[in-house]
Structure 1
Amino acid sequence: MVKKRFKKTQILEILNKYEEGASIQSLIKEHGISLATFYNWKAKYSKSSNYNKQELHKLKEDYERLSRMFAELSLENMRLKAQLEKIE
């Protein structure tokens, strides 16, 4: 049984370096992989990378929406406490 040499996170880091502008030749020399391996990784993991970017964008939107909701509810809570203090 062949042991995998690189974990998925390591492969994604290598592909991110490529997307940032590093040359393929420097990457394959640095990490000791073949050109075919690089292109196989690129074909296999670039799709998941795009999926992860979309998920991250969705999570950021949800975070912003929930932050606004929290701020609004906090303000309303403070107003209600102030009204209670006036009544008492």
Structure 2
Amino acid sequence: MKRRRHTTEQIIRKLAEGEKLLGQGQSIEEVARHLEITESTWHRWRNQYGGMKADDVKRLKELEKENTRLKKIVADQALDIDMLKELNRGNF
């Protein structure tokens, strides 16, 4: 199978289509083949995005991006505090 990246909207759409096919009695093997993904990808997507709508996924990605930015700010502040403590001790 050729490797490709899927957008979150495509993943949600494929999960919905896959659930529909599963409801019709097809096996996970057949569903994965129809969606042109591996079974492990199906399970990973289902665990990560199962039950979400496209808007929920967009919001999740935004929150993860903001969380990363805030963690970087906290790390920078911790370095500044350590530096100031070192300067205050006179060990410069």
Name the TM-score, length of structure 2 as normaliser: 0.47
Between structure 1 and structure 2, the one with the greater Rg is 1
Name the TM-score, length of structure 1 as normaliser: 0.49
Question: Which one has the bigger helix percentage?
Answer: 1
**Larger RCO: 1 or 2 (CA < 8 Å, sep 6+):** 2
